[in-house]
């Protein structure tokens, strides 16, 4: 990043409580988080509040982050893998303003990462917390919109509906036609929506040393994957789970192991592929790039 | 070289400034005061208070000003403000039979105790643009402006109830504390107290459409507007240390009691049923729509098949909130590069597969 592009420092606004939420609300959310950690993959209803940002724009993640953040935390916020997309900037500014904590773009420096749609390429470490923004926490919602029904299915671990959906994909297309928010089984018990991360990221959920928290503000649910928990992407023996691959490396850093975004560079079909994880890409490039 | 989305922060800061300028409009014109909004756009203020779940005309006026008149945005501002306010206690149940009425109409009885009181309403105005308002004219003076005396005007449903013609609604045994939707998440099935809270905060347009659908064959409930009343209701609290009720002020309310048909069952003789609507301020359309939807949502309790959208709790209650709906619909403008890339890859792969299959077929032919 060019030094002149560095964002202006955001002052802590003392008119607001630390992390915006009042302490009672934070306690209520922490209780929901504790329950979620105790029952990996189970969606815990919580008294989601109206936040100063719109529902559907990360209010669940924001409430979770606001409830676990402390003055010593170092916060990283990404959207689509990038620290500089507008919504990530907006959420980071919100926490700078309401907590005054240090922020970073480096995955390794962060103690707390709030993310939308990606898991960083840099492996997470023990002690880190990653908070996912979740639009639709119920993996079965598109198959069965009634929550009274889906709760029963979770209770009975009756996930045939999802298996049939995957099977129908295979029968029709020869492969599963879900590319993001690909359903996973947590700790062999609960079917879980990993949020709309590309299925490329699904393997990173499995046995991750970091604490993974999921917040759905509009739908008022919190769930969690504790460190070192098994997370399996649904598949069949003869149709194993596969992730996306690209035929070319990142045009900027040459990475062949990262998720690539396609950038259209002209109106004649020209395009390039670059890492969606901007920190990963930057760390791999020479300092003068 | 690739620059993509860098500079997002500066763009955001610049957009704040631009927004402020656009909101203000032509600086040569005088700025709107909150008092002007409160006094002259009072129906907008009422709607924002109602769906924003805060009875505060000043704050609602501020929200409307800040939102440049976008009422859903103003409701959002007020809700975000109220979210972290402490809940200090409960009021006693409002006694709407003792409201000081500005308006009271019944569509079921030509005359009734307390009489019909037309009040201020657009109902019988001829909707012709009044060009005298374009030029500032003199303020019109009403024949009688003050609210009627605070004598009790019995509610139509109570008159019907005396004869046993309409179902009685008594609080459940022990009068259990209702759940507070602003503190606890909505879960299904939701009891009526929770449903009514949801509807009271629900988007007027959504409830209007849902209520309307019940009049067009999607769960017809034979509604009659038993009574609509608008006025001031006294708010009382009973502090523990006092042991008796004290009045803390008045709320301007619109209440609608819809009277609906019910053929009766094996255990119950035929009698009328109720749908209930209550809104802050003068919000008649909202209160009436709410009462239709409330009645439709009682399908299960009254042994009616829930076949239409307005009768389905999950459908209605999960989609009534303008904040949730507006936020999630508009979140589609957030970046989705990653998901879209994943879909692009899939569509290309599927097309390549089809093409390969086609070529193979051609070779075989």
For chain B, give every domain's residue range. 9-82, 96-119+151-169+179-326, 338-364
A118 and B CB contact within 8 Å:
yes
Query: In this model, does residue B140 exceed pLDDT 60?
Result: yes
- Residues of A with Cβ-Cβ distance to B318 under 8 angstroms: 147
Q: Quick one: pLDDT band at residue B7, thresholds 50, 70, 90? A: low
pLDDT for B151 equals 75
Q: Least CA distance to A86: which residue of chain B?
A: B8
CA dist B297 and A94 (Å) reads: 39
Residue A105 predicted with pLDDT over 90: yes
User: In chain B, what residues touch A81 (CB-CB under 8 Å)?
Assistant: 338
Residues B246-257, mean pLDDT to the nearest whole number: 96
- Mean pLDDT of the residues in chain A: 93
Closest partner residue to A218 (CB to CB) among B80, B84, B328 is B328
List the beta bridge partners of residue A130: A113, A212
Q: Is the pLDDT of residue A289 over 80?
A: no
Nearest-neighbour CA in chain A from B54: distance (Å): 13
Mean pLDDT value across residues B238-250: 92
Say what angle helices A59-68 and A86-99 make with each other, to 10 degrees.
30
- The candidate with the shortest Cα–Cα distance to A204, out of A259, A260, A152, A255, is A259
Q: What is the pLDDT of residues B206-215, one digit of tens each?
A: 999 999 999 9
Q: For chain A, give the percent of residues with pLDDT over 90.
A: 85
* Averaged pLDDT for residues A261-276: 90
CA distance A150 to chain B (A): 11
* The pLDDT value given to residue A143: 95
Provide ipTM, 2 decimals: 0.86
Structure-derived torsion over alpha carbons of residues B166, B167, B170, B176, reported in degrees to the nearest 10: -140
Q: Is A55 in the B-facing interface, judged by CB distances under 8 Å?
A: yes
Is the minimum CB–CB distance between A90 and chain B shorter than 8 Å? yes
Q: Which of B10, B54, B316, B334 would you mutate first to test chain A, the one with the most A CBs within 10 A?
A: B334
What are B290-309's pLDDT values in tens digits?
Answer: 999 999 999 998 888 899 99
Peptide bond into B109 cis (omega under 30): no
Spatial CA neighbour of B250 closest among B145, B121, B99: B99
**With 80 as the cut, is the pLDDT of residue B148 above it?**
no
Taking alpha carbons only, the member of A90, A88, A92 closest to residue A80 is A88
Q: Report how far apart, in Å, the C-alpha atoms of B50 and of each of A59, A201, B72, B197, B282 are.
A: 23, 44, 11, 11, 10
Mean local confidence (pLDDT), A133-141: 97
* Residue A143 DSSP symbol: T
A218: nearest CB among B10, B327, B346: B327
How far is Cα B209 from Cα B213, in angstroms, rounded to an integer? 6
Chain A touched by B4 (CB under 8 Å): yes
Min distance B20 CA to chain A CA atoms (Å):
17
Q: Which residue has the higher pLDDT, B221 or B225?
A: B225
pLDDT band at residue B132 under the 50/70/90 scheme: confident
pLDDT at A2: 42
The answer to whether the Cβ–Cβ distance between B341 and A85 falls below 8 Å is no
pLDDT of residue B359: 86
pLDDT value of residue A10: 83
Tokens of A277: 């994880």
Is A135 at the interface with chain B, CB within 8 A? yes
Instruction: Answer with the residue of higher pLDDT: B221 or B64.
Output: B64
What residues of A are annotated to the active site?
Answer: 41, 250, 253, 275, 281
d(CA B273, CA B170): 13
pLDDT confidence of residue A1: 42
Segment B181-207, tens digit of pLDDT: 999 999 999 999 999 999 999 999 999
The tens digit of pLDDT for each residue in A166-221 reads 999 999 988 898 999 999 999 999 999 999 999 999 999 999 999 999 999 999 99
Across the interface, whether the CB atoms of B5 and A86 are under 8 A apart is answered yes
Q: Which residue of B has its CA nearest to A200?
A: B342
**Is 90 exceeded by the pLDDT of residue B114?**
no
**Does residue A34 register a pLDDT over 80?**
yes
Q: Is B350 on the interface with A (CB under 8 A)?
A: yes
pLDDT in tens, A237-252: 999 999 988 989 999 9
CA–CA separation, A68 and A127 (whole Å)? 13
SS3 of A247-278? CCCCCCCCCCCCCEEEEECCCCCCEEEEECCH
What string of H, E and C letters represents the secondary structure of B188-220?
CCCCHHHHHHHHHHCCHHHHHHHHHHHHCCCCC
* Interval A116-129 mean pLDDT: 97
A70 touches chain B (CB under 8 A): no
Would you say residue A4 has pLDDT above 50? no
List beta partners, residue A214. A132, A223
Shortest CA distance from A55: residue in chain B:
B327
B72 touches chain A (CB under 8 A): no
* Nearest residue of chain A to residue B341 (CA atoms): A261
Residue A264 corresponds to which tokens in the numbers above?
Answer: 């259209």
pLDDT of residue A41 exceeding 70? yes
What pLDDT is stored for residue B360 in this prediction? 84
Per-residue confidence (pLDDT) for residue B203, from 0 to 100: 98
Report CB contact under 8 Å: B342, A199.
Answer: yes
Select from B179, B203, B316, B327 the residue whose CB has the most chain A CBs within 10 Å, as the one to mutate to test that interface. Answer: B327
Contacts of B187 in chain A (CB under 8 A): 45, 147
Q: Judge whether residue A6 has pLDDT over 70.
A: no
Closest chain A C-alpha to B6 CA, distance in angstroms:
6
pLDDT bracket for residue A3 (50, 70, 90): very low
CA distance A240 to chain B (A): 16
β-pairing verdict for A221-225 and A211-216:
antiparallel
pLDDT at B270: 86
Q: Which of residues 145-204 of A touch B (CB under 8 A)?
A: 145-148, 173-174, 177, 179-181, 196-200
Q: Looking at CA atoms only, how far is residue B341 from chain A in angstroms?
A: 6
pLDDT at residue A153 greater than cutoff 90: yes
């Amino acid at each position: 990043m060019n030094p002149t592009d560095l964002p202006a420092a955001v002052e802590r606004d003392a008119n607001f409580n630390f992390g915006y939420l009042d302490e009672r609300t934070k306690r209520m959310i922490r209780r929901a988080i504790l329950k979620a950690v105790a029952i990996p993959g189970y969606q815990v209803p919580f008294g989601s509040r109206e936040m100063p940002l719109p529902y559907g724009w990360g209010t669940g993640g924001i409430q979770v982050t606001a409830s676990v953040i402390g003055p010593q935390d170092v916060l990283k916020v990404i959207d689509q893998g990038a620290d500089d997309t507008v919504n990530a900037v907006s959420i980071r500014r919100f926490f700078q303003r309401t907590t005054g904590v240090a922020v970073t773009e480096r995955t390794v420096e962060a103690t707390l990462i709030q993310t939308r749609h990606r898991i960083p390429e840099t492996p997470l470490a023990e002690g880190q917390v990653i908070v996912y923004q979740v639009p639709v926490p119920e993996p079965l919602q598109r198959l069965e919109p009634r929550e009274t029904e889906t709760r029963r299915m979770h209770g009975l671990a009756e996930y045939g509906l999802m298996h049939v959906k995957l099977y129908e994909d295979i029968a029709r297309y020869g492969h599963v036609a879900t590319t993001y928010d690909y359903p996973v089984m947590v700790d062999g018990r609960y079917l879980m929506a990993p949020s709309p991360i590309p299925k490329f990221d699904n393997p990173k959920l499995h046995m991750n040393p970091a604490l993974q928290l999921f917040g759905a503000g509009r739908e008022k649910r919190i769930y969690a994957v504790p460190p070192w928990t098994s997370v399996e992407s649904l598949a069949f023996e003869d149709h194993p789970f596969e992730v996306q691959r690209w035929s070319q490396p990142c045009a900027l850093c040459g990475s062949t192991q990262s998720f690539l975004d396609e950038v259209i560079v002209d109106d004649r079909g020209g395009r390039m592929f670059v890492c969606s994880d901007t920190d990963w890409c930057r760390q791999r490039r020479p300092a003068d790039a | 070289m690739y620059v993509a989305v860098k500079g997002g922060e500066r763009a955001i800061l610049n957009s704040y400034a631009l927004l402020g300028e656009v909101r203000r409009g032509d600086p040569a014109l005088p700025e709107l005061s909150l008092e002007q909004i409160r006094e002259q756009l009072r129906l907008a203020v009422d709607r924002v208070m109602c769906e924003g779940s805060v009875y505060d005309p000043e704050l609602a006026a501020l929200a409307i000003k800040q939102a440049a008149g976008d009422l859903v945005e103003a409701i959002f501002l007020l809700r975000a403000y109220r979210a972290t306010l402490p809940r200090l206690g409960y009021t006693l149940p409002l006694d709407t039979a003792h409201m000081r009425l500005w308006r009271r109409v019944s569509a079921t009885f030509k005359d009734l105790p307390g009489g019909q009181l037309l009040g201020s309403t657009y109902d019988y105005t001829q909707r012709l643009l009044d060009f005298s308002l374009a030029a500032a004219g003199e303020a019109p003076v009403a024949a009688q402006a003050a609210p009627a005396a605070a004598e009790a005007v019995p509610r139509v449903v109570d008159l019907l109830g005396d004869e046993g013609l309409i179902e009685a609604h008594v609080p459940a045994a022990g009068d259990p504390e209702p759940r507070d939707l602003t503190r606890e998440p909505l879960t299904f099935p939701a009891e009526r107290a929770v449903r009514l809270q949801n509807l009271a905060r629900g988007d007027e347009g959504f409830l209007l459409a849902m209520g309307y659908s019940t009049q067009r064959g999607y769960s017809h409930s034979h509604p009659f507007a038993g009574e609509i009343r608008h006025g001031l209701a006294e708010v009382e609290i009973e502090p523990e240390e006092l042991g008796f009720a004290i009045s803390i002020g008045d709320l301007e309310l619109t209440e609608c009691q819809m009277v609906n048909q019910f053929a009766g069952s094996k255990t119950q003789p035929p009698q009328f049923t109720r749908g209930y609507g209550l809104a802050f301020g003068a919000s008649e359309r909202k209160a009436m729509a709410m009462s239709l939807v409330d009645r439709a949502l009682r399908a299960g309790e009254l042994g009616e098949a829930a076949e239409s959208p307005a009768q389905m709790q999950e459908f209605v209650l999960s989609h009534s909130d303008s904040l949730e709906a507006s936020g999630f619909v508009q979140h589609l403008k957030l970046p989705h590069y990653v998901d879209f890339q994943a879909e692009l890859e899939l569509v290309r792969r599927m097309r390549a597969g089809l093409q390969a299959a086609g070529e193979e077929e051609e070779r075989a032919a």
